[in-house]
Amino acid sequence: MQDFEAQVTAYAKSIESFRTNHSLPDAWFAAPDHLAIKCADSTGYEATVAEWLPKSAELYFVHLNGRRLASARLLAPIVVGNLGQVEWLEIMEPRPEKVGVDPVGVDHMEFGFSDFTAAASVLALKGIKSERQENPNHQWLSIIAGGREFKLNNRTLADVVAEEIASGNATKLK
């Protein structure tokens, strides 16, 4: 857990610095939604889910794109520096083709802000690349900030989880 806290601190400092250096709008960061961590492989995913299970009020997982994604509503929020606090944690098993390739640990944080066109315009004017992405449950704008990623999302993880439960796609672990 100490390593996780150090990763969260380093992540927060990196994003906060990028945000300040590029004068990014406060509105983008006003609604922190969740933090996501990426595991090294299936074994790491299972160990990480087991580690967070007792720290969760509820925990669900889905299969998406050949991997498992767990969503945990935490018993106590995680404070992510000056970026705010989150009550949800996403635990990501890597895609099969990404095992051993992607960095492991704190991967990204998501914020509720759905005006992707306006955000992409601001980023383009500042010379910052972004990528609009989606899956069946939501859309987001991915921004790489000095080697770290944050996302602007059109739906909360809580809403996505509720939809996955209602559709029968989510498996409840707790």
CATH of 2-172, one of 3.40.140.10, 3.40.50.720, 3.40.50.300, 3.10.180.10: 3.10.180.10
What does each of the 174 residues of the chain score in pLDDT, given as a tens digit?
569 999 999 999 999 999 999 999 999 999 999 999 999 999 999 999 999 999 999 999 999 888 999 999 999 999 999 999 999 999 999 886 766 667 789 999 999 999 999 999 999 999 999 999 998 888 999 999 888 999 999 999 999 999 999 999 999 998
Domain boundaries, the chain: 2-172
SS (H, E, C) the chain: CHHHHHHHHHHHHHHHHHHHHCCCCHHHHCCEEEEEEECCCHHHHHHHHHHHHHHEEEEEEEEECCEEEEEEEEEEEEECHHHCEEEEEEEECCCHHHCCCCCCEEEEEEEECCCHHHHHHHHHHCCCCEEEEEECCEEEEEEEECCEEEEEECCCHHHHHHHHHHHCCCEECC
